[in-house]
Chains A and B, each alone.
Chain A
Amino acid sequence: MNTASIKKILVVEDDQYIRELYIDILQDEGYDVEHAVDGEEGYQKMHAGGYNIVLLDIMLPKMDGIKILEKLKNETPPIAPNEAILVLSNLGQETIIANAIALGARGYLIKSDHTPDQVVNKVKELLQPAV
């Protein structure tokens, strides 16, 4: 049980309502939440790294989530590592899911299928050290 430091979370999501919802509910849990509004910014911040968990949307302007994951894995690894990546998307195609997992995502969930508290639970689950 690590309570020494406050968890740092990055939310990469272009839709304002959803982004602000996630920021709210995570901040309510006491996490330190940063955000990015498009793929480019998301990539920059993920590259700088150091997050305990990144909530990453796939459909983003400027650069999509898969591309970000590709670049971070194959070209320019993060300077400070990101402990976990949770892909939050509304795309259900299995190929994309498999792709994301292969590129390093630890989890994937369909936004419209989950209530806010379910999202928070998932985040907490992934904040536990990997077994």
Chain B
Amino acid sequence: MSDVILLFFVIANIVLSLVLFLNNPRSATNKLFSGLIIILTIYLAVNTEMVLFQDAEVKLILSRLIISLGAVINGFVFLFLTTFPQDRIKLKSSIIHMVSWSTAGLFIAGFTPLIFSGIDINNNVVTPKPGILMPIFLVHTIVLIFGGIVSIFLRYKKSVGLEKNRIQYVLLSFFILFSLVIILNFILPVFLKIGFFVPFLPIYILIFNLIVGYAIVRQRLMDIRVLVGRAVVYVLLLLMVAAFFSATLLFAGYRFIGISFSSTQSIFFIIILVITAISFHPVQLIVEKFTEKLLFKNRYDINDVLTHLNKIMASTLQLDELAHKILRELKTQLKIHTLTFIFFEKDDVSDVITEGFQSPPTYKAEDIRQITQSQEVLVFEDLEEGPIKNTMRSLDFSVVAQLRTEGKQIGLLAFGQKSSGEIYSSQDIQLVTILSPEAAIAIQNALSYEQVRRFNVTLQEEIEKATTDLKSANTQLEVLDKLKDEFVSVASHELRTPMTAIKSYAWMVLNNKAGEISPKAHIYLDRVYTSTERLIHLVNEMLDVSRIESGRVTLHKTSINPLDLCDDMQTEFAAKVADAQVTFTIHKPDMLPSIEIDQEKITQVLENLIGNSIKYSQKGATITLTVTQEGNLVRFSIADTGRGIASDDMPKLFKKFGRLENSLVTVTAESSGLGLFISKQYVELHGGTVDVQSELGKGSTFSFTLPIISDTNPLQSSVS
């Protein structure tokens, strides 16, 4: 009996040792434990077989062998416990030396009379006699074993995570082994005389080896609590089964059938039972897989397929790709002939995606209305006769699943016949039921993505169109701008040239360069001259306005004293004033600061305002030019006692042509209507303001201000 166990034990341990070593040949932990297993195996084998030998001499030799191995075991255990679960022995070399040398020494000493001096045999009980060095051996054992345990226990406290887990396992298995050995190999035999379990020691050792081996090899260890929990459940289950069986077998068998078994037989049966019970579940799984492979060629693992489909649904947002991939997976796994996705949008069929059709059919909303009302999966075979079943028959759908998300139906997933012609199994229906809502969500996401993408494209197109429109509008504006420039050039040159000739020749004759002319001729020609001047003036003003409007006015600023400007005006208008028989007076202080202005333009403004005053005054009227300083401004005022301006007309004064809208009535006669507009623009370009006070019949006062300190570039400021 024990031989069987022993043989099994030896083989199992050798296999385990090999497995452990091969798992990681470079790791010290693996190497140490493999070695330990081998030595333990030899130790226990010899220990067990020792009883076969009767000869005292042989027994003595074997005992010495055992004790020598014991020393080696001590060494290995110590090294293993101090190293586990690391790859390298991390002890001080002095310690390694001490351990190695003491172990080697005791190993050799074990074969001499120093440890076991001799042997006593009393009634078949073999007792080796301790020698001189036995105490040292005991010390060696205690120090190394306990030292190892303490070391690993300290490391357990310090460690975290996976390492801590592994050490837990080792400590646990040590604990189990220790408990089993103490209880079954010591307490029971010695105190209760039950020696039954003694030969099973190798098995406990094997269990211990397996647990530690597991702790070494596995990357991810089960939670110890889970492991212990499951083991407890299993053991309890087995005990219950074994107890029931034993009771039935022994008691009922004895009572009802009249059989009694010997204790050996009983135990044998119980062991067989236990093994059967243990192996039932794994064997069941193996048989299941085998028969499934054999009989159900079409079977698939529903979880595998669902996992795969989930991967597919997470892999893409492209509706087309998504739908086709899903259909293909279903087609392959469930071996279906044809599959169809039908998508709705606003109560109508928006898209149809199929797999397996030679030429995909089209579906209209009416055709499928019947099958879109249901809440569940529709299975053809399970339906009663009626409109739904008829629809499915006509469309050749075996199974129809609704795709619903957020309470809205976004489409259908329709399955055609299976390739094998079979009906859909309950596993298939289960798959479809689980799949439908998930697919609905994935499809919805793809649709939303598509919407966003399309919107983006539309947006792009709109932007491009708008840009093109803008570009063409811009080009048109550029063309118009060029035209305007051309007009300005043409006006400048083509109009002015003949006007220059008219004016100049009129002047020549008027000034007697062509001989004397009669007074009447003088008057007539004078009118020609004046008219031409007006014409030239008008063209000049229109060119000015054109320049102002296209923002091409450049102010050439210089430092001018307003007092000088006034004097210039006096001189310039002297003749005209005399002609119009009006009085032109200037009021100015003695001192005025110079101002940064474009002299030509401000002169133009003054000429315009003074000219206007003269035009609208009767004979004998007074025109006054006043210039004053107001803070950081200089104010020019031109006051006349002319006919004044009606308050209704005031707002239109500084506008171009000063005309009433849609009226042919001119507000100002004899004037282009542009002069005031231009004056206002020029003044404002300098940062000043214009103002007018007037009363009909009494006269008007036009004034404007100019800043003394300009806030732009003092000498040249260009306005665009």
- Give chain A's interface residues, CB within 8 Å of chain B: 15, 17-18, 21, 24-25, 28, 59, 89-94, 110-113, 115-117
Contact = CB atoms under 8 A, between A and B. Distances in A.
Nearest to A89: B493
Contacts of B539: 112
A78 B488 CA distance: 33
6 smallest A-B Cβ distances: which pairs?
Answer: A90-B496, A17-B501, A112-B496, A111-B500, A112-B500, A112-B536
20 contacts: A15-B501, A21-B504, A24-B513, A25-B513, A90-B492, A90-B493, A90-B496, A90-B497, A90-B500, A91-B492, A92-B540, A93-B492, A94-B554, A111-B500, A112-B497, A112-B500, A112-B539, A113-B536, A117-B507, A117-B511
Given A18-B500, A90-B496, A91-B492, A116 B543 contact: no
A116 B499 contact: no
Contacts of A21: 501, 504-505, 508
Given A90-B500, A91-B489, A91-B493, A17 B536 contact: no
Nearest to B544: A92
A18 B504 contact: yes
Contact of A115 (B493, B499, B507): B507
Contacts of B497: 15, 18, 90, 111-112
Contacts of A117: 507, 511
Name the prevailing secondary structure of the B interface residues: helix
Interface in B479-514: 488-489, 492-493, 496-497, 499-501, 503-505, 507-508, 511, 513
B504 to A, nearest CB: 5
A110 B540 CA distance: 11
Contacts of A91: 489, 492-493
A25 B507 CA distance: 12
Contacts of A89: 493
Nearest to A110: B496
Interface residues of B, number: 21
A94 B488 CA distance: 13
B497 to A, nearest CB: 5
A17 B111 CA distance: 148
B104 to A, nearest CB: 109
Contacts of A115: 503-504, 507
A50 B513 CA distance: 30
Contacts of A24: 508, 513
B525 to A, nearest CB: 14
Given A21-B504, A112-B540, A116-B507, 9 more contacts: A15-B501, A18-B504, A91-B492, A92-B492, A93-B488, A94-B554, A116-B504, A117-B507, A117-B511
B503 A112 contact: yes
Best-surrounded residue of B499, B503, B504, B511 (most CB of chain A within 10 A): B504
A116 B508 contact: yes
Nearest to A13: B497
Interface string B625-666: 000000000000000000000000000000000000000000
A102 B492 CA distance: 22
A17 B488 CA distance: 23
Nearest to A21: B504
Interface of B: 488-489, 492-493, 496-497, 499-501, 503-505, 507-508, 511, 513, 536, 539-540, 543, 554
Contacts of A110: 496
A121 B554 CA distance: 28
A91 B488 CA distance: 9
Given A17-B505, A21-B504, A113 B493 contact: no
Contact of A59 (B488, B493, B504, B536): B493
Given A91-B489, A94-B554, A111 B496 contact: yes
A18 B501 contact: yes
A59 B490 CA distance: 11
Nearest to A22: B504
A113 B540 contact: yes
Contacts of A93: 488-489, 492
A28 B505 CA distance: 15
A92 B504 contact: no
B270 to A, nearest CB: 119
B716 to A, nearest CB: 11
A110 B505 CA distance: 16
Nearest to A14: B497
A21 B513 CA distance: 11
A56 to B, nearest CB: 15
B539 to A, nearest CB: 8
B501 to A, nearest CB: 4
A75 B488 CA distance: 31
A88 to B, nearest CB: 9
A24 B504 CA distance: 12
Contacts of A90: 492-493, 496-497, 500
Best-surrounded residue of B497, B505, B511, B543 (most CB of chain A within 10 A): B497
A93 B488 CA distance: 9
Nearest to A17: B501
Contact of B499 (A59, A94, A112): A112
A28 B504 CA distance: 15
Nearest to B535: A112
A65 to B, nearest CB: 12
Nearest to B514: A24
Contacts of A112: 496-497, 499-500, 503, 536, 539-540
Contacts of B493: 59, 89-91
Contacts of B507: 115-117
A115 B492 CA distance: 17
Nearest to B511: A117
Best-surrounded residue of A90, A93, A112 (most CB of chain B within 10 A): A112
Nearest to B529: A115
B507 to A, nearest CB: 5
Nearest to B554: A94
Contacts of A92: 492, 540, 543
A110 B504 CA distance: 13
Nearest to A15: B497
Nearest to B506: A115
A23 to B, nearest CB: 12
A17 B543 CA distance: 24
A89 B492 CA distance: 9
A93 B513 CA distance: 33
A24 B501 CA distance: 13
Contacts of B499: 112
Contacts of A59: 493
Contacts of A18: 497, 500-501, 504
A111 B498 CA distance: 10
B147 to A, nearest CB: 104
A110 B501 CA distance: 13
Contacts of B511: 117
A57 to B, nearest CB: 10
A28 to B, nearest CB: 8
A25 B554 CA distance: 35
A111 B496 CA distance: 8
Contacts of B496: 90, 110-112
A25 B503 CA distance: 14
Contacts of A17: 501, 505
Nearest to B485: A93
Nearest to A111: B500
A68 to B, nearest CB: 17
Contacts of A113: 536, 540
B92 to A, nearest CB: 96
Contacts of B543: 92
B468 to A, nearest CB: 33
A61 to B, nearest CB: 13
Nearest to A58: B493
